[in-house]
Structure 1
Amino acid sequence: MRRLFKIALIAVLTLVVLGGASLLLFGRDSHGNLSGSISEQIDQYLLNQEFQGTVLISKDGEVLFEKGYGKAAPNLQNSTDTLYQIASLSKSFTAVAIMQLAEKQLLTVDDSLAKYFPDFPNADTITIGHLLSHSSGIPDYLKPDYQFDYSKEWEPTEIIEVVRNEPLEFTPGESFSYSNSGYVLLGLIIEQVSGQAYSDYIEEHIFKPSGMHNSMFETKEGLPIAEGHVEGKSGPRMDDSAAYAAGDIISTAEDLALFDEALRQNLLVSEETSKLMGTTHASKFPYKYGYGWYTQDVLGHKAVGHSGGYPSGFRHYVARLQDEELTVIVLSNEMTVNSKSINRNLTSIVLQKPIWIWEEFF
């Protein structure tokens, strides 16, 4: 028996060593199959991936690459001015709005939820900072258990009622769990404090100073808007109101680049506030989150980023490398596209640094 155990142990250790060696030898991609300029390599990569959507990459304040691929709708090609429901990329806008109000000393991240919603369960133990960093413990109303109907029109207060009486998932501040519910509450706080509708506040204090003239909250007939797809077929309908401050913005790759540049130029919030937003405030492996951004290490560079997706057929990812002044925007209207993996590989091509397999996902 001992002999068999030793043989089995040696076999397992051998497999581990061989697996590790294989990973070291073959577990990273230098994109050696691509040729030409950086832009040509990016284009080749996206064509090889049969990517559907729009990519915009900026570096040092200048657009390095921008191009649309595939169909946005039956009679519309994807391009850099195609409108997309950007889903959870909207959370960064909501977080900026909250931090603008904090800079004006109209609220603080340490304010309790009870200050704004005294009747909300556990409100005295939950802070604005917890909502911003997904560390409140409030369940996500989009979890399958709640069978949320995306197709109908919703009021923000109706969305909150879905989880109001549900128990917290953990003690506020002690863990991380992504919660769209928390960002709906943040939108309502913005309205209370500013005296403006959430959409009006974002338009006046973020879209306008950033020069984002092609961003909105409701689709308008005749504009070049992408339709969501799932495995090539039109995705299910999702009403514009179904996510509110957690994901209702409609924008373009070009406008998102303008938002990024406004942040880098400290036109929306101060440099100190931007650093605070990009500091980790909550984590649970493998996730780390600041205020409105995932905090990350991307190919050895400090970065922030965010994903965005709708079951109607959209998958997006934005990554912002701080020290490289590099921003990679990937918007896709095909649900099966892994936008984060594509984003990471595009970053690898721009930096001309090989990418490890696990770096495509973390």
Structure 2
Amino acid sequence: MNKKRNKRILRIVFPLAGIISLFFVPWLIVRAWMAPLPDTVQEQLDNALNYDLDGTIVYVDQNGKPPEFYASGWNNRDKKIPADPHTLFKIASISKLYVAVTAVKVVNSGALSLDDSLADLLPEYSGRIENADEITLRLMLQHRSGIPNYMDDPDYPWSSPPKTNLETLELVLDAPADFDPDERYSYSNTNFLLIGEILDKTLGYSHHQYINEEILTPLKLKNTYNLLSEVNLDEVMSGYFIGYEPDIKANDFINPGGSMVATAEDVGIFLRALNDGSLLTESEQKTYSSVYVYEHTGLLPGYQSIAKYHRDMDTVVILFVNTSGGNAWSIGEIVYSKVVKILRKQ
């Protein structure tokens, strides 16, 4: 009797559980993924607006062909200003590529060593960052330091970001390490904040100036800036967070490795130069390859970006999306992957 009763209960419970689980399926993501692949990049961007994205920009550089620019949706939703593929955008953690290049160039000049310890480079923090005497510049570049990520702090003030590096660092100073140095990889924005501080101290001037002189000027990148405060805010694409109506582009994130503003074209030119060897010398390239990556994503409230070089088709593809929150990140990744598939079919 008990066996028969248990079977009857299971016949009821399993279908019920299946029905309930359907309410938790991210259907918007499923719809975006299952949608037929369009014939053109422009169609793909237009379709993306059906999945809660406000505006998208794509830049494509296929070697040997003129660059291609695409945009869809809104630059400014409230004023009904259409998305412009040449507008400025907060590139968030894509900034880390520029900081990493700077660090490698300074190392190769002999002013720094990858094996210098954090305690030696910034002794003022040696008693407040656990394992500072074992953490090296190399480990910070590789995200293997064990230093906590300040953006993971539950008290991080997203609506009013810190105005100084020290104010940001206070979120993690005196906190226990996440793990022992070089034990494993764990992405931490704090690593690059500290690298920015190290570079400023070593150079004797802002690493922003070094980026301008040694990266932006040689590559003729006239639409790339180290800080939001360097540009006219009207020239920056608006940013939106799902469930929150106001434009949040005025939120200023100033910490190294997440502060830069650029056009998609400028990011694309930089990325190609980084990958084809024209930005770094042979010895610098060897050093860079040992410590950092050749592509990046970026995410800030209202802004997400993907910058990759696809060696198999010698093509740089940059995606900017001015929406975050909800399913926006996953939708953005799907849009990017479909854009690349379209380019491969052409």
- TM range, normalised to the smaller chain? 0.7 to 0.9
Q: Deviations over 1:243-298 (max 9, x none)?
A: 4212100111111122123324434313454455455xxxxxxxxxx51x3xxxxx
Are 1:90 and 2:101 counterparts? no
CA contact (8 A) 2:313 2:344 kept: no
Judging changes above 3 Å, is the alpha-carbon distance between structure 1 residues 143 and 235 closer, same or farther for their aligned structure 2 residues?
farther
Judging changes above 3 Å, is the alpha-carbon distance between structure 1 residues 33 and 275 closer, same or farther for their aligned structure 2 residues?
same
CA contact (8 A) 1:61 1:261 kept: no
Give the SS at the match of 2:313.
coil
Which residue of 2 is the match for residue 143 of structure 1? 152
Which of residues 60, 63, 66 is equivalent to 1:60? Answer: 63
Which residue of 2 is the match for residue 174 of structure 1? 183
Which residue of 2 is the match for residue 334 of structure 1? 323
Judging changes above 3 Å, is the alpha-carbon distance between structure 1 residues 323 and 305 closer, same or farther for their aligned structure 2 residues?
same
Higher RCO, Cα 8 Å, sep 6+: 2
Alignment partners' CA distance in 1, 2:80 and 2:335: 26
Q: Deviations over 1:66-108 (max 9, x none)?
A: 1121111225322222011111110111111101112212212
Judging changes above 3 Å, is the alpha-carbon distance between structure 1 residues 31 and 334 closer, same or farther for their aligned structure 2 residues?
closer
Are 1:257 and 2:262 counterparts? no
Judging changes above 3 Å, is the alpha-carbon distance between structure 1 residues 340 and 30 closer, same or farther for their aligned structure 2 residues?
closer
Alignment partners' CA distance in 2, 1:228 and 1:85: 9
Q: Deviations over 1:19-74 (max 9, x none)?
A: xxxxxxxxxx8986533xxxxx2111221222522100112264453112111122
Structure 2 counterpart of 1:116, one-letter code = L
Are 1:306 and 2:311 counterparts? no
Alignment partners' CA distance in 1, 2:37 and 2:279: 41
Structure having the higher strand fraction is: 1
Which residue of 2 is the match for residue 349 of structure 1? 342
Are 1:318 and 2:307 counterparts? yes
Which residue of 1 is the match for residue 119 of structure 2? 114
Alignment partners' CA distance in 1, 2:296 and 2:170: 26
User: After alignment, is 176-185 or 102-111 more displaced?
Assistant: 102-111
Which residue of 1 is the match for residue 44 of structure 2? 45
Which residue of 2 is the match for residue 14 of structure 1? none
Alignment partners' CA distance in 1, 2:38 and 2:186: 39
Structure 1 residue 150: Cα displacement: 4.8
Which of residues 62, 69, 74 is equivalent to 2:72? Answer: 69
Alignment partners' CA distance in 1, 2:239 and 2:230: 14
Instruction: State the percentage of identical aligned residues.
Output: 26
User: After alignment, is 211-220 or 229-238 more displaced?
Assistant: 229-238
Mapping 1:200-239, distance limit 5 Å: 200-216=209-225, 217=227, 218-221=229-232, 223-231=234-242, 233-236=245-248, 239=251
CA contact (8 A) 2:306 2:318 kept: yes
Give the SS at the match of 1:55.
strand
Structure having the higher helix fraction is: 2
Q: Deviations over 1:111-150 (max 9, x none)?
A: 2112211242321110111111111111111114233355
Aligned length, in residue pairs: 308
Give the SS at the match of 2:183.
coil
Judging changes above 3 Å, is the alpha-carbon distance between structure 1 residues 56 and 268 closer, same or farther for their aligned structure 2 residues?
same
Structure 2 counterpart of 1:227, one-letter code = S
Say what the alpha-carbon RMSD is for the aligned residues: 3.2
